[in-house]
A and B are shown apart, each in its own frame.
Chain A
Amino acid sequence: MSTEKRIFWFEELEEKHNDIVGKKCANLGQMVHLGMPVPPGFAISIEMYRRFLDLSGASKEMRIYAEDLGDLKGVGIGTFDEVSRRLQDIIEEKDVPAEVRDPILRYYEELCERLGMPDAAVSVRSAGTESRPGMFETYLNVIGATDLLDKIKKVWASAYTPRAVAFRVNKGFPLIGDELGVAVPKMVNSRSSGVSFTVDPVTGDDTRIILEANWGLGEGVVSGSGSVDGFVVEKETLAIVNRHIGQKTRCVVNREKGAEWVDVPEKMQRIPCLADEEVLEIVKTGITVEKRLGCPQDMEWAVDGDLPFPKNLFWLQTRPAKVQVKKPVSTTDQIIDLLAKRYQ
């Protein structure tokens, strides 16, 4: 058995480990170093994914299957579904070999010890080497060794969801591809959670931060269904210049086995799911991180219901924000803008 390190605590990681553990894991490590509180946890390397596929025999089976398929370019959606089901089945049906299983479970045990709780709830999140938001799977509220291994396998298999398969085929990439790392952070007991943009993704206005939040887990915001709370904060003055309290009828919460959508009790539907001090705490961190990283950020965070402010804020992700509209600005204009701003 190789002595090569294949699992890392988040704090051992930095941006440069992107190719070893995938972008999300490296990002979590970078966030730790930026001083952002992230939920404790570990990262399973891409090499571990390869070991799993090789040792379990999945890799060989997949290769043979793919060679028989030939060129898929131009086939219908139905074929992608079928290919996806077959490849995911190959992966999910395999047992996890001891060489892969044992170290994962050792890290899980140690995480439970660190947290002082047996069978701690974690989430199991995919981490590709390139950012493909929403393409691969994430599992929430995973509890215990059996569930953990099962969900890790499912994350690995999610490299072959119909969407991922279609994406690669249409882009002319090999069908067998997209190797995944896995992030296993402690599940935050989210009272509320959401996203923040340090630039308006629609107008490109970078003087404001935009927050969207809902009760429960972040999936209740990013899935984009229903009305959520929105806040707009001016970076310079930290004034909340716009607030929209949406009617939050549904949200995602932790359940004994996994996370699920539930109805929000009526009395909580029209009240803000974030206190102003929490909004400002999120905004301040957002400004600092944006400055440190040098470009606008798209960030995810959660507010833990068990902890007092300000310890209750956890950051789950930060990545460069994709801005729809960006007005072309000349170097002269940028210098003038910033020089004028210096004096404000």
Chain B
Amino acid sequence: MGENIGGRTALWDALPGYDLIEEVDLPEMHSWFLDATHSVPPWTPLFGWYWIRFCCHGMKVVCDELSIPTCKGWEMRYRDGGSYNAFHIVRDKKEIAERAVKFRQALRPWIDNFDGLWESGKRELLGMYDKLKAVDMENASHVELYRHNYDLMNTYRRMFEIHFLGMYSSYSAWLLLEDLCKERFGMKDQDPEFQDMLRGFNNKVYEMDKSLWDFSQLAVDMGLKDVFVQNKPDDLRAKLEMSEKGREWFRKFMHYLETDEVGGWRMRRMNDLTEPYWLEDPCTPLGVIRNHVQKETADVFGNVHAELSKNREAAVARFLQRVPPPERPFFEGLINLAGKASSYSEEHDLYCELISHALLRRGYLGMGRRLAKSGTIDQPDDIFMLNPDEIDRVLMVPDRHDLRFITRRRRAEWLEWHNRPNPPVITDRSGMEEAVAMDLLPSMDAVAMKIVVGELPEHKPELGADMFGICGCAGEIEGPARVVINYEDLKDVQPGDILVCPGTNPAWTPVYGMVAAVVADRGGTLSHAAIIGREYGVPTIVNTFEGTAKIKTGQRLRIHAAEGAIFILDK
């Protein structure tokens, strides 16, 4: 950094070193893309600090470990609760060629043994999580809490290093398959025939959704149907405790949450610490189970999935017929690896983000209670307004510090950010298209292109649609719009609604069992919204950029997902 850039010296605030300062950051990277998939609604400073510091670190480590030829990782900055990302693109041909040599070696084990390597990554993470869980937050000494702060950081750092290894290797295969299919068979990854080949995989998210459905069946079998139908999720626990059968059912259910390796360690909102995880507050899974009981959901988890998986086998067989025989083993291998992108994309969320975030919440709320008791902050969850360095400074002698001047101001700012959406890109280029062309696409970065930024929609004026996005899962359907920005408003979604949202994450998965279609502001064909759309056979359009801004709840929509077209029928 040069001295006195832009004629003034900016001060770091919430995330020292990671706050976006245009005078410094724009000349260096030119374009900063909002990660609307993960950072809408706006993040608290504590979560922002964690994500921006360590997700960014994980990207760099994995781009280095795998020696991704055209990208040395990402840079991330925090601005008004949003994450802005830029890419360290390698532009020198010679350097790209040199990196490619190592890339080939580093990738080989992932092609040969993806499942085995991911399994060992999971085991390593679960081992670290067990140590964190072992800390008794209420009875720990100050120094134990102080150390816990560092153990959390270290676990989270390692989590993101593991996280991106599986992601880059499988997503790269997806991109290669997409390239080859487009070039050789005129088939894009938005085409149903392509998508059919890569869905219907079993994974842990699906298994857990299925378990909740099983518990709904158990409830019916045990004669508890009425308890579920007649009570709100918030009251269910208390009502169940009132009968012998109810207590038995609830004990079994809690046993599952406690003993399944990821089970109850699942955040309600994936990307922040402000909302409880399942074990902390079982209302969320109970609400899902209640929904199944009430609506008598039958086949989402059985037939639909079995059918998708059968369709996949048929689609792959059909495709291989078009491939010259000598190349069939190659394409089979590649489809297999690209298919990992679908299953990994869901499963890693459970083992990486959702558990880590639950443990961060557990740990920092524990420290927050200690700080609140000493009057350092007003209430335990004010700790989410601090960063770990600030916590580090006060945790050993909390009663001698008062950080309320920071937490009160930051909480007010954080609330204000909710009313003021972040711009999709901050750039010194002429606009989004130029920014994408110059500062994103040359990275050829699989994760950037397929999830966080995604491809720009193609506008097809001849269709006369009101808005365009990218096809996540094909299908045509009409229905009333339900605009949902925050997780807590998901409960308003009615069967048959078209969900219009900034993006989805695994916490939102259960709603796919009832909506007619999904329209997301951001995300590529490997974003959560798109993948789950395909897994549940729900027509899905992603990367509309302006869906939640333009569409109002209650408006009737018609969507033609294969074309990425959205029609607002009553404007």
Contact = CB atoms under 8 A, between A and B. Distances in A.
Interface of A: 291-292, 294-295, 331-332, 334-340, 342-344
B333 A342 contact: no
B345 interface: no
A343 B69 contact: yes
Nearest to A337: B104
A277 to B, nearest CB: 25
A294 B323 contact: yes
B444 A343 contact: yes
Interface of B: 68-70, 96-97, 99-100, 103-104, 107-108, 111-112, 172-173, 175-176, 179-180, 183-184, 323-324, 326-327, 329-330, 332-334, 337, 444
Most buried by A among B175, B179, B330: B330
Given A294-B184, A334-B330, A339 B96 contact: no
Contacts of A336: 104, 107-108, 111
B99 to A, nearest CB: 8
Contact of A342 (B111, B179, B326, B332): B179
Contacts of B99: 343
Give the secondary structure class of B's interface: helix
Given A294-B184, A294-B323, A295-B324, A339 B333 contact: no
Contacts, number: 62
Given A336-B107, A336-B111, A343-B444, A331 B96 contact: no
Contacts of B173: 335, 339
Contacts of A295: 324, 326-327
Contacts of A343: 68-70, 96, 99-100, 103, 444
A340 B104 CA distance: 7
B100 A340 contact: yes
Contacts of B108: 332, 336
A339 B172 contact: yes
A291 B176 CA distance: 15
Given A332-B111, A335-B173, A343-B69, A294 B179 contact: no
23 contacts: A291-B183, A291-B184, A294-B324, A295-B326, A295-B327, A331-B332, A332-B108, A334-B330, A335-B173, A336-B104, A336-B108, A337-B104, A338-B180, A339-B107, A339-B172, A339-B173, A340-B100, A342-B176, A342-B444, A343-B96, A343-B99, A343-B444, A344-B100
Nearest to B71: A343
Most buried by B among A294, A331, A332, A338: A331
A292 B96 CA distance: 28
B553 to A, nearest CB: 42
Given A340-B69, A343-B68, A343-B99, 5 more contacts: A295-B327, A331-B329, A332-B112, A334-B330, A335-B111
A174 to B, nearest CB: 28
B25 to A, nearest CB: 26
A325 to B, nearest CB: 15
Contacts of A337: 104
A337 B68 CA distance: 14
Given A291-B184, A332-B111, A339 B176 contact: yes
A209 B560 CA distance: 43
A73 B70 CA distance: 63
Contacts of A335: 111, 173, 176, 330, 333-334, 337
